[in-house]
Amino acid sequence: MICEILSVGTELLMGQIANTDAQYISKRLSELGINVYRHTTVGDNPDRVKLALNEALGRSDLVITTGGLGPTEDDLTKEMVAEYFGLKSVLHQPSYDALMARMTRLHPDKPVTANNLKQAYFPEGARIMPNLCGTAPGCIVTHSGKSVAVLPGPPREMRDMFDRELAPFLSEKTGIVIHSRFLRIFGVGESRVETILLDLFHLGQPTLALYCGVGEVQARITAALAKGEDPAPVLDPVEAEIRNRLGDAVYGEGSDSTLESTIVKELTRLEKTVCFAESCTGGMLASMIVNCPGASKVLNESYITYSNESKRRLTGVASDTLSRFGAVSERCAIEMAQGARVRSASDYGVSVTGVAGPDGGSEDKPVGTVYIAISTAKNTTARKYEFIGDRAWIRKLCCAHALNELRLTLLQGE
């Protein structure tokens, strides 16, 4: 079944609100195995609503509209749908009664206007969808092999009506269930991942798509199956193949899994702790760990060592190191990571020291030069990075890469 979403509302075209209705409906339709081919937004203007509705119905089996259902003059989605199919608008008595009861209760002193009653009229033969969160009911009009579902614009009302009324109607029609898996990938760029997985994009079933995050890539494997069909035989081989080709770069599964949650989970399992010595990231790394519930099992304390003096005092970096190599150096990163581990009596120490900009860069160490070190009981190693971006972005990349290095260290069982 091919579907389009038609959103009606001048406030969308003015940018006063984002079209979260279209996102919500799209996500739910994708789960129901219904393909959305287009979103269209037009203002509250009869000619433009009519034109957009004509076009959408010309291309698809199902059009879902949001907005233009209210009591005002320029709310005319239902009227345009009736006109399209050549249907009369008729009064729906239960909606009329519910509307009267609601209006009288909310505004006992105000007369119910004719405008308000407009909300109880529907195209002849429409299936009515009551609105439990607001005044305007929605409806489904099926005619000449096409369906139009008319939903209200306010997100709370729309979502409730979609889930309670429209979703069951559609699921009945399609008999299809969607199964998705997310793989999270770190350390290989998007275009490189695409090249490595190129042939897997043309399997037909399942489909594969890539999304970008902060220094990471997410791969989504999706299968649209008949109700009751087992997704494992379709998804498992492709997932295995991706893991096989990308190896350790695949760090997690599921849209909720993050580098930090992966690390908190793994450290908890190992009953180990970590401590950070952060210069340019200034606490962001520790904060990412602390944002995960259960962080208290894996982090007791952590140091923000921004000045040279604090690097010396809190993590024991040698004065000689600072004067000979500077704070942004392999040697300093190594001593910071060791100091963080030893002084906090943690199992792992992780340090970040670098030039986040906009000032502080030099020919030798331009903005974006960063050293990340990982210290274990056996070994401490540092790696140099050269990031590109503004201060905030460089700091985020520092955190993502530091977490990834820690993850790889844990994987190696060190």
Footprint of its own copies on residues 173-232 (CB under 8 A)?
Answer: 189-192, 194-195, 201, 209-212
Q: Under a CB-based contact definition with an 8 Å cutoff, are residues 390 and 361 in contact?
A: no
From candidates 282, 316, 326, 361, binder to its own copies by CB under 8 A = 282
Interface segment toward its own copies; rule CB under 8 A; list 169-177, 232-240, 278-286, 404-412:
278-286
User: What residues between 19 and 58 interact with its own copies by CB under 8 A?
Assistant: 19-20, 22-30, 36-43, 48, 52, 55
Under the binding rule (CB under 8 A), the answer on residue 389 touching its own copies is yes
Query: Residue 285's closest CA among 248, 330, 337?
Result: 337
Largest CA distance in the chain: 88
Site string for its own copies, 335-374 (x = CB under 8 A): ---------x------------xxx---------------
Cα–chain center distance at 314: 38
Residues whose CB falls within 8 Å of the CB of residue 49, separated by 6 or more in sequence, listed in order: 6, 8, 42, 68, 76, 77, 80
Q: What is the pattern of x (binds its own copies, CB under 8 A) and - over residues 252-271?
A: --------------------
Its sign, for the CA torsion 10, 11, 13, 14, is: positive
Contact 393, 359 (CB under 8 A): no
Query: Cβ of residue 338: shortest distance to its own copies, in angstroms?
Result: 18
CB 164 within 8 A of CB 128: no
Q: Which of 93, 244, 296, 379 forms a contact with its own copies (CB under 8 A)?
A: 296
Q: Is 127 or 164 the residue whose CB approaches its own copies more closely? A: 164
Which run of H or of E encompasses 34? none
Site map 140..179 versus its own copies, x via CB under 8 A = --------------x-------------------------
Closest CA to 193 of 237, 255, 241, 246: 246
